[in-house]
Amino acid sequence: METFFLKPFIKDHYLDQDLTNFKDGSWKYLIAITVLLTIVLTICLKVKTISHFITTCIFSTVFIFFVLRTVLISIMLYINTQTEKSQITNTYKVIRYKEMKIFWLNSDKKNSINDNDKIKLIDKRRKEKGQKSLFEYKMNDTIQVKLKKGVFNVNYIE
């Protein structure tokens, strides 16, 4: 499921910087899932001794953080796109050198975009909404990219 559906979906909706920020901060959600799994296992297995409870905690932690981490992060990112909380507009300056075939979107912040696939994704989304193509802009033109923010506070392109 993750390889065939979630990975392409995520690639088609998220910019690299937003993915990196979420993956770095996803530990808090994974801890919550681990606690929930521990509680469920404790109840289902009718754990009565402290040693069994510790074993259940260790099992839950290892299972979530080492076995299911990637899948859970992908599922959370999918859920994020289904639960819009707010919209964000980022402003970029077009950096373009036609003769060297260089094109990127520069921002004063850390979120400049120079990955060709992400630029093509933004351009595709703009065209779908009837907006001017990114590649029609000239050097130092300013453009705005509208992003949405979901329940996990991760920006995504719709």
Selected residue with higher pLDDT from 120 and 97: 120
Question: Alpha carbon 59 to chain centroid distance?
Answer: 27
Mean pLDDT of the region 27-38: 90
Mean pLDDT of the region 85-95: 91
In this prediction, residue 100 carries a pLDDT of 65
Half-sphere exposure of 145 (CA within 13 A, CB side): 29
In the predicted structure, residue 63 carries a pLDDT above the cut 90: no
H/E run at residue 11: helix 7-11
| Integer Cα distance of 12 and 54 in angstroms | 41
Nearest to 30 by CA among 81, 2, 67: 67
Name the pTM for this structure: 0.81
| Integer Cα distance of 79 and 66 in angstroms | 21
In the predicted structure, residue 2 carries a pLDDT above the cut 80: no
Of the pLDDT bands very low, low, confident and very high (cuts 50, 70, 90), residue 116 is: confident
In this prediction, residue 98 carries a pLDDT of 74
